[in-house]
Structure 1
């Protein structure tokens, strides 16, 4: 109890609680939303009084379903906010459909008041669509990074777990909401209170905006070989203009034959095949998450012609790019 008293000793007892407004979008991710709210709830408990309060709003003011299928009754429609409110937009799957014209108009109007606006999980897309991230640093869930960077060239996209750029904040989804909220708590009420909240959440590794959201290459592939990791990183950052295996090998100080043996030994495929799979994975993300034409998707993933792209795509996914997009749209309409 002494730690709690020490952490809250500097908090003014007559301070007005900071109000968060969580905007639930259709098919929002419950984990990101719940993580943020729980951090605020626990902060109140550790402080011994209400230093934060929150409300939940949604378009229509009725129910909003999360991606797990559970429907949440919201407190109100998209009403006018106070100038000191902090807005947290909660995104999830199919963020494009959830980002409606009415929502964008409301968001632009409220943002003009100068209040802080945040996007959890994929909601960075909604903020960017509203023009709130132009010229600013931001992040979004790694699965949406390819499509985001293609659509919003004026946004400085990072791979961080969260980003705070002035009064605009974004997170990568999942438990990164906890990291963001702990930073906001620390900024307003001190590190000790934030640490108490983390302890209550059994959250032992607090991340900063310098931490990246995806696992390192060695962890992802289950292999700790420095030159192999270096080559894979080069492949991942050069999708639109693929680098030949001979140049990749030369850049890490080995022969093409040695590189071939390295990939065969650890990944059971050739460098060329592995590279192709990376490019096709990005292509699939773009087909699912953007309105880019198949031709433009092909070019963005390093294919010189749509016919070659379609042939490679079908060989890997057993369907054509056109059918993939059509079946995805059909699934979302169910």
Structure 2
């Protein structure tokens, strides 16, 4: 069995952040979200991985390399533009051959991994197996309709009137029959080759498509709020470890705090769960729960909580920051003081009240 990991998306829901950064590499507890997926694939006993890349191919290659650090053998497959999940299967046809494969969306996060999901596929041998979870509003997702025994009888992509509250999580398992289903697909109204259409073709041709209900936590980390939620969840599992860093006589660590090699906490209070990366310095500041600070950052005279700070960022004298995502080498500093003033553009016969 092989894996096909999709890491070619543009991250439009996280712009402008993703104009200069691959969304799959945004860190959760100081580790790129893509790495959690690669580790889950390895832990499921799969070691050959094709990664579909697009405009951010160089960043993905630099981060993942040949895959050996994960115990994987990685092959990169170039996609000229994000043309849908089924298009990724289409361009990977030669690489996949006639092997079974798991398709994993690189910006998805699944707590607990996919080992049970893969084991069931290997045991039951359906032509396809999809992973489902219930959501309050299924309209923005692919939606599954189930028959008796969990057999999938229908799929719709982003329907206006969903037939169930069960949506497709971004992990799929396929046998080689999917290639016949993908061949000849036409773009949907969104202009993409939809994997839901390919799976529906399997169903229409009498192929066996099974489903598994996800019992644990899943999140599509497609926007900032989702990233912060996943970061919070992972940080809650931390075991405290401060031995590699330094805390001066007036510094204080409370709760689950991890300090990377050479990280320093000087005259500051850190309330976990928090992770502070190697070489970062927190001086005369407060770092509150659910905050990840990457390597080589500085936080001085400031307060921050429930946030993600990327490599090399500098936060200096800005008061309180919360629920924020701060990019690589970014600088957050105070604005110059200006006199209080009001600028107005009023139409005829207007009435305005201004507090003094």
| TM-score exceeds 0.5 | no
Give the TM-score band, short-chain normalised.
Answer: under 0.3
More helix by share: 1
TM-score, normalised to structure 2's length?
0.23
